[in-house]
Structure 1
Amino acid sequence: MPESKGRDKKAAAYTAPTKSKSAQPNPTWWAPTFVTLLILGLLWIVVYYVTEYRYPVSALGPWNLGVGFVLLMAGFIMTMRWR
């Protein structure tokens, strides 16, 4: 019956990889900031429609929707990096 060769004694033992910097928790301001951005973006768009396109900034006109969506997207992007 053949015998097992066994392991090489010169091979280094396995060491687990160290935690990367990205695994650290977010700062304490992270969650309140993205929640605020989401709510502010939603309110911006709702106010624009409810006031029949006069507010929040009447000089922007339809670009008020763009401002609202940028705020929403900034909040959503921040949620992707939340730990």
Structure 2
Amino acid sequence: MPESKPRRKNTTQARAERQSAHAIDKPMPGWYKPVMFGLMLIGLLWIIVYYISQTLFPIPNIGGWNIVIGFGIAMVGFFMTTGWK
């Protein structure tokens, strides 16, 4: 009995499969995890210092924006967790 020919894959589908396989095999750089956790800790420490010093530190003249800066630094670290493997 004759065999049917295998279907040719769509070129975009084949390209996507190659790219996804390449991304999975790629190891994370050694600096990624320390930077990620470091940013989360620096953001937390920024906010803690702001509250403990009664708004005098880290930057005295910007007031409540110190909280925004602290959360912003921490959020960069949290966003980095999406790329962590």
TM-score by length of 1: 0.78
Higher share in helix = 2
Greater C-alpha radius of gyration: 1
Structure-2 separation of matches of 1:43 and 1:34: 15
Instruction: Note the aligned Cα RMSD (angstroms).
Output: 2.4
Note the C-alpha offset of 1:7.
4.2
Aligned length: 76
- 2:81 paired residue number: 79
Normalised by the length of structure 2, the TM-score is: 0.76
CA distance in 2, matches of 1:11, 1:38: 51
**Runs of 5+ consecutive residues of structure 2 not aligned to the other structure:** 8-16
C-alpha distance 53-6 of structure 1, shift in aligned 2 (>3 A): farther
Deviation string 1:28-64 (CA, Å, 9 cap, x unpaired) is 1100001110000000000000110110110221100
Moved over 6 A (4+): none
Aligned to 1:39: 41
